[in-house]
Amino acid sequence: MGEQPETSHVVTPREVRTLIRQGRWRKPTAGLAPGYVQANLVVLPRELAYDFLLFAQRNPKPCPILEVTDVGSPEPRLTAPGADLRTDVPK
């Protein structure tokens, strides 16, 4: 895996996602890409998605919805075009 890159060199969300996709970043991402929004990812089965969306809309401060992808789509087209949720989120 090699050494982790210096965080001072990571300045955009796209750069963060590239490092993660390449397996060069495996730590939490808090503090990376300052000035950009960072969010948590929730992936749910279709049968639970509507209820969760309704819950989040009723609780927008603790649980804001930035984007809802199409079923089976790994790309958040509005918030991170070109990203792949299967590979661009650290595990």
Runs of H (alpha helix) within 1-91: 13-21, 46-58
Q: Which two tokens stand for residue 25?
A: 């970043």
pLDDT-derived band at 61, boundaries 50, 70, 90: very high
Distance CA 43, CA 21 (A): 19
Given this model, what pLDDT does residue 12 score?
Answer: 94
**pTM over 0.75, yes/no:** yes
How many Å apart are CA 59 and CA 44, to the nearest integer? 18
| pLDDT digits 0-9 by tens, 15-31 | 999 999 999 999 999 88
Under 8 Å between Cβ of 25 and 2: no
